[in-house]
Structure 1
Amino acid sequence: MDFLELPKRTTGNRSYGLTSIVDFGTPIGELEHILKDYHPFIDIAKLGIGSAYVTPNISQKISLYQAYGIKPYCGGTLFEKCYLQQKLPEYFAWLKQLGVEWLEVSNGTLDISLEERLQIISRAKDYFYVIAEVGSKDSTQEMPISEWRAEIELLLDAGCKYVITEGRDSGTAGIYDQNGTIKSDLIQELIKGLDCRKIIFEAPTPKHQMFFINEVGANVNLGNVKLTDALILEAQRQGLRSETFFLEEQEWKLLL
C-alpha cells in the first residue's frame, strides 16, 4: 500500500536513475540470496578490478545477474591489463563467449591517450555497449574542469552509452580528493551543461551518494555502490533518510 508522497523513481529497465553495484567476489550462494530480494534496486553489476578473470564460477555469476535483469560487466582494470599485453581481441572474444554485452574502456591505471580510447570505442561499439571512464586512480593527478567536460562529450559522441567519473571504491581519487572530500566545484560544472542521464558518478559511501542525490536528484546514476548497500541507497533516493528527508518530489531535480 503506497500512501507517502515520494520522489518519482524510474523503474524496470531503466536508462537513467541507475544503481551500479561493485562485486568484489561475492560467493554465488550469497549473491543469489541478495538478488532475490534486492534485484529491483540494481541495474548494473561491475565485477571489480580484474576479479572476473580468476572467478571460478564466472559463467554462473554472469548468468545469475542476467536472470535478474542486471547488466554485468568487467572492471576497467581487466581491460587495461589486456591492453597492456596486446590481448584485446582475446579479451573481447572471452567476453562474447561469456555472454557479457557491456565493456568498460578506461585509463585509470595506464596512461592511454584519449585518441587511442576513442579508436577502441569506435571498433568495440559494434559488438558491445560501451562504458568509458574519465579520471585517474592516482589522487595526485589533477584534470582541469574543461578537460573533464571535453573528454566526457567526446566519449559520448564516439558512441559510449555512459561515461563514469572515476572515484575508486575508496572515494579518494578522481572526483574526490585524497581525504574523500567531493570536488563540489567540479561536479557543479559538470552537471550544468552535460546530460547527467549519461553520466555515472562513482559514489562508494552513503555520504557521497547523499551528496549526488541532493545535488542532482533521486534519479542520478550512481556507481561503485556496495552490493549490501542497494536497499539503503534506494531509501535515500526516496527521501527516507534524514539527509535526504526534504528531497523534492520530482523525477529529476535539475534536468526535467
Structure 2
Amino acid sequence: MNYMLKSIPSRTVKPRNSGFTMAMDKGLSLREVEDFIETSGDFIDIVKLGWATSFVTKKLREKIEIYRSAGIPVYFGGTLFEAFVIRDQFDDYVRLLNDFQLTFAEVSDGSITLDHDEKCGYIASLSKEVTVLSEVGSKDAAKIIPPYKWIDQMQKELNAGAWKVIGEAREGGTVGLFRDSGEVRQGLVEEILTQVPEEKIIWEAPQKEQQVWFIKLLGSNVNLGNIAPNEIIPLETLRLGLRGDTFDFFLDK
C-alpha cells in the first residue's frame, strides 16, 4: 500500500484460498489486458474468459500467455463447456484445455439440462487433469431452485472433485443467487452457509450492492466472482473499508 492507515482489515495474500477475486474478461484486447494487470494484478486471483467469448477472441493464445506470465490463471467460461457437451464433444473440450495448457476448468449446467450424476461424472473426470470450478444455479430467471437443492448439488460437486463451487448470478447479477432486481436471496445464501463451508464457495456478485452485502455478511475475505476489470480496485477498497458503503464497518473491529 502507498501509506499507512490504522484499523484496516487483514487481507489474505496470493495464492489465496479465501478472499478470492475472480475477474471476468468479456473481450479485452491484448493492450487492455496488459493495462489491467499493471493496475490490478495484485488483486486478481483468476480470470474467466466469459461464457464462450474465447471462440471469437482474436489472439487468444497471446492473451492467455499475458495472464500466465503475470501468474494469473485463466479458464474458459462454463457456457463453453456446455456448448461442447450438448454437441457430444466432451473429448474435444478436454483436448482444447490441453492445447491451451489451461490448468482450470469450469463445469456448469446453467444453459442446458444435465442429469446431476452426469455433471458430477464430468467433474470427476476433469479433476484428474485440471482444477475444477463447478457452477450451481440456472441462467433462467424463471427457474427457482430451492435451497436444499443448491446445498445438495454443491456438496455432491465438491465430493466429485470440484475445488470450489460457484453460485450462479450471470454477468448481470439478476438470476440464481439474486432476484431480477439484483436483490440478494438472503435466505438462500444463509441456508447454504449452514451446510457448505464458505471458503469452498465463490459468490458471483457483479453489482456493487451485492459485493457490499457479502462483505458485510462474511467479511473482507469472502470469495467473489464475475467482477468487471474496472471494478477490481473499487472492490478491493470495499474489502478494506475505504469506500462509503463499508466505511464504518471495520472501524470497531
Q: Does the Cα contact within 8 Å between 1:212 and 1:220 map onto a contact in 2?
A: yes
- The alignment covers a number of residue pairs equal to 251
Give the whole-Å Cα distance in 2 for the aligned partners of 1:194 and 1:95.
29
Give the whole-Å Cα distance in 2 for the aligned partners of 1:102 and 1:77.
14
- Written as runs of structure 1 = structure 2, the 5 A alignment for 1:15-164 is 15-164=17-166
Q: Sequence identity, in percent?
A: 34
Give the whole-Å Cα distance in 1 for the aligned partners of 2:96 and 2:57.
14
**Matched letter for residue 186 of structure 1:** L
Give the whole-Å Cα distance in 1 for the aligned partners of 2:21 and 2:244.
20
Give the whole-Å Cα distance in 2 for the aligned partners of 1:223 and 1:26.
17
Select which of 179, 182, 196 maps to 2:181.
Answer: 179
The CA deviation string for residues 132-176 of structure 1, in whole angstroms up to 9 with x for no partner, is 000000001111111111111111111100100000111111011
The CA deviation string for residues 163-209 of structure 1, in whole angstroms up to 9 with x for no partner, is 00000111111011122111011111112332111100000111111
Task: Judge which range, 48-57 or 73-82, deviates more.
Answer: 48-57
**Matched letter for residue 204 of structure 1:** P
Structure 2 unaligned regions, length at least 5: none
The CA deviation string for residues 40-80 of structure 1, in whole angstroms up to 9 with x for no partner, is 01001000010112212111111111111211100011000
Runs of 4+ that moved beyond 4 A: none
Pair 1:88–1:22, CA change in 2 (3 A)? same
Q: Does the Cα contact within 8 Å between 2:7 and 2:250 map onto a contact in 1?
A: no
Length-normalised TM-score, structure 1: 0.95
Give the whole-Å Cα distance in 2 for the aligned partners of 1:244 and 1:193.
27
Corresponding residue number in structure 1 for 2:249: 247
Shift of 1:249: 6.8
Give the whole-Å Cα distance in 1 for the aligned partners of 2:148 and 2:37.
40
Corresponding residue number in structure 2 for 1:6: 8
